[in-house]
């Protein structure tokens, strides 16, 4: 008979004692094998609304403090958040974007219509050089989305050559002519975006043949160094994943997944970003938790064709999508950001962390002034949103070893529906420090959680912080920018050398470092 491990025995004991102790986190502290890829904490910047212009890019002549045209306060904030990877230029915009319109002298760049987002004229003053130089300033990896919907293989391969070649070849020489001697050595290339929708309205069978062609050519021109990411499914379209993974064409190393949380009853009836009722608080969290089901089911299909997990699941668009702020252009998707959105971010990041064997990148939509932004701007004012602070607090998990854990939690019930009240993930950094992140989704009560380390002891809780808010719909406004921000957390108690008790406030995220 197979003997149970100590961890398994403790789990059985914990389940048996569940009636006496409802909330318990058991951590197998000696079994950390999978590394949480830092790119799970990635971001997405599209030419949409005020994400790029009047967001990241204000131009060198702006009265707003800037560094070579980039808003200085935004650059500093993104550095402080430790942004690892940034996806650009879209989104739907990517499949109408022709990169050569965005190079050369600013005053000579061709204009284009942004058909998808507000019907505005795009002047292309933010192009390849501006984006890739920004990534260098931030110390993050660029992730380029190639135009498959209205572009061509030639256009894509010329772009690769322009960005990555150090040879005496036409596109590399054009880059040198435009003032950049060294190649940027871009690593991540998306082969199309939402090809099932705005990127071409394709069937998976049609797309997979295009992917085979584009991927082969990208590999040649990229000298096989590019990590190519194929267009994956929209939400629960499992057939799309099955078709693409069955063929697994070219040299793709990732497959995307897009899922947005709609807190209302549907796309035509979305929640407001502020002032919403508790039912929209609950439904936002409930629908965000669907990400776990999506990741598990798409991963199971990928496992069938890729048991060694060589192809990563890249959730390169995710986040909550609410109604736009009153008085703003609907096509600009400008929305505020509340503590609800922060908790959606923390529980989603927990899901990605806990599936780090398959999830290798994720990109929240979007970085500045669009959808679930980490930063909002208004003239020379800048606001760090509650979601920003989640990413900053969770930076401790980047490139750390995931520690397997089992969370036993009470339910949060509302209007006859229920969800787990707690979410968590645990990791160990290179210095042996253990980081525990715990989210209490219940807006009405604090929860006492017992944490048990199996196979390892700790001396002390080295540091701890908490993010919470006065109300379940509190947010940071331009006139009150610090309503929701992290503060030091003290409401924990060491029980013995391997156990800890945490009292997690309502609607709150706590991150502790155990040494």
Tell which residue, 396, 501, 404, has the closest CA to residue 452: 501
How does residue 224 score in pLDDT terms, banded at 50, 70 and 90? low
Among residues 122, 161, 247, 317, which one is catalytic?
A: 317
Q: Which residues lie closer than 8 Å to 46 by C-beta, 6 or more apart?
A: 52, 88, 89, 90, 91, 92, 93, 94, 117, 365, 366, 370
Give 256-281 pLDDT, tens digit per residue: 999 999 998 889 899 999 999 999 99
What is the mean pLDDT of the segment spanning 39-45?
A: 98
The fold of the 38-402 domain, in CATH, is TIM Barrel (3.20.20)
Q: 452 an active-site residue? A: no
Q: Which of 194, 247, 428, 452 is catalytic?
A: 194
Q: How confident is the model at residue 4 (pLDDT cuts 50, 70, 90)?
A: very low
Phi/psi of residue 27, nearest 5 degrees: -115, 125
Which residues is 261 bridged to in the sheet? 320
pLDDT at residue 210 greater than cutoff 70: yes
For helices 290-305 and 278-288, give the axis angle rounded to 10 degrees. 10
Average pLDDT of the residues in 327-343: 97
* Residue 39 in this model has a pLDDT that exceeds 80: yes
Task: Provide the 3-class DSSP secondary structure of residue 296.
Answer: helix
pLDDT tens string 390-410: 999 999 999 999 999 999 999
Confidence of residue 124 (pLDDT cuts 50, 70, 90): very high
pLDDT, tens only, 452-499: 999 999 999 999 999 999 999 999 999 999 999 999 999 999 999 999
46 is catalytic: no
What does the pLDDT read at residue 12? 43
Which pTM was predicted? 0.94
* pLDDT above 90 for 20: no
| Separation between Cα atoms, residue 429 and residue 278, nearest integer Å | 37
% the chain with pLDDT above 70: 95
For 475, phi then psi, to 5°, come to -150, 170
Over residues 7-17, the pLDDT tens digits come to 444 444 444 44
Domain covering 6-30+421-514: architecture: Sandwich (2.60)
Residue pLDDT, tens place only, 106-117: 999 999 999 999
Closest CA to 491 of 468, 457, 471, 474: 468
Which of 113, 62, 103 shows the shortest CA–CA distance to 54?
A: 62
- Rounded average pLDDT over 28-55: 97
Average pLDDT over residues 144-162: 97
| Assigned token pair, 97 | 């974007």
Domain boundaries, the chain: 6-30+421-514, 38-402
Check pLDDT > 90 for residue 127. yes
Lowest mean pLDDT among 3-12, 44-53, 74-83, 262-271: 3-12
**SS3 for 315?**
strand
On average, the pLDDT of the chain sits at 94
Average pLDDT over residues 334-347: 98
The 10s digit of each residue's pLDDT in 418-436 is 999 999 999 999 999 999 9
Confidence (pLDDT) at 192 = 96
- Answer for the pair 250, 308: CB distance below 8 angstroms, yes or no: no
CA distances from 43 to 34, 226, 352, 475 (A): 22, 19, 14, 21
Q: How many CB atoms sit inside 10 A of residue 209's CB?
A: 13
pLDDT over 80 (residue 2): no
């Amino acid at each position: 008979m197979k003997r149970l491990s100590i961890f398994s025995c403790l789990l059985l004991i914990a389940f048996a004692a569940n009636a006496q102790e409802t909330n318990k986190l058991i951590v197998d502290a000696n079994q950390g094998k999978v590394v949480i890829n830092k790119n799970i904490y990635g971001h997405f910047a599209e030419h949409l609304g005020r994400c790029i212009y009047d967001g990241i890019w204000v131009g060198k002549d702006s009265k707003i403090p800037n560094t070579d045209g980039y808003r200085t306060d935004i650059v500093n904030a993104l550095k402080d958040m430790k942004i690892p990877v940034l996806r650009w230029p879209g989104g739907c915009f990517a499949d109408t974007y022709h990169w050569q319109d965005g190079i050369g002298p600013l005053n000579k760049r061709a204009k284009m219509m942004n058909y998808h987002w507000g019907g505005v004229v795009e002047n292309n003053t933010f192009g390849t050089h501006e984006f890739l130089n920004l990534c260098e300033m931030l110390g993050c990896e660029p992730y380029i989305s190639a135009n498959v919907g209205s572009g061509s293989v030639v256009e894509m391969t010329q772009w690769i050559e322009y960005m990555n070649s150090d040879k005496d070849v036409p596109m590399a020489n054009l880059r040198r002519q435009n003032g950049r001697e060294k190649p940027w050595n871009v690593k991540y290339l998306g082969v199309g975006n939402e090809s099932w929708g705005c990127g071409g309205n394709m069937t998976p069978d049609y797309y997979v043949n295009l992917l085979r062609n584009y991927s082969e050519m990208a590999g040649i021109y990229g000298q096989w160094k590019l990590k190519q990411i194929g267009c994956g499914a929209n939400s629960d379209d499992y057939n799309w994943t099955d078709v693409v993974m069955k063929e697994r064409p070219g040299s793709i190393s990732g497959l995307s997944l897009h899922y947005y949380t709609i807190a209302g009853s549907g796309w035509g009836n979305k929640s407001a970003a502020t002032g919403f009722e508790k039912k929209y608080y609950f439904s936002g969290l409930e629908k965000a938790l669907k990400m776990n089901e999506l990741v598990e089911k798409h991963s199971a299909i990928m496992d069938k064709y890729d048991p060694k997990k060589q192809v990563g699941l890249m959730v390169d668009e995710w986040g909550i999508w609410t109604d736009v702020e009153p008085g703003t252009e609907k096509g600009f998707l400008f929305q505020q950001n509340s503590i609800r959105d922060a908790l959606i971010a923390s529980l989603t990041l927990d899901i990605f962390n806990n599936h780090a064997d398959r999830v290798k990148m994720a990109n929240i939509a979007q970085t500045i002034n669009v959808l679930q932004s980490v930063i909002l701007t208004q003239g020379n004012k800048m606001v760090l949103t509650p979601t920003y602070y989640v990413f900053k607090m969770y930076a401790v998990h980047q490139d750390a070893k995931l520690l397997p854990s089992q969370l036993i939690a009470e339910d949060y019930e509302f209007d006859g529906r229920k969800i787990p009240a707690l979410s968590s993930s645990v990791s160990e950094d290179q210095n042996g420090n253990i980081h525990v992140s715990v989210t209490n989704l219940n807006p009405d009560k604090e929860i006492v959680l017992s944490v048990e380390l199996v196979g390892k002891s700790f001396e002390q809780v080295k540091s701890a912080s908490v993010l919470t808010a006065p109300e379940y719909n509190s947010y940071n406004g331009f006139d009150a920018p610090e309503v929701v921000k992290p503060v030091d957390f003290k409401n924990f108690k060491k029980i013995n050398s391997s156990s800890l008790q945490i009292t997690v406030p309502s609607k709150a995220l706590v991150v502790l470092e155990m040494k």
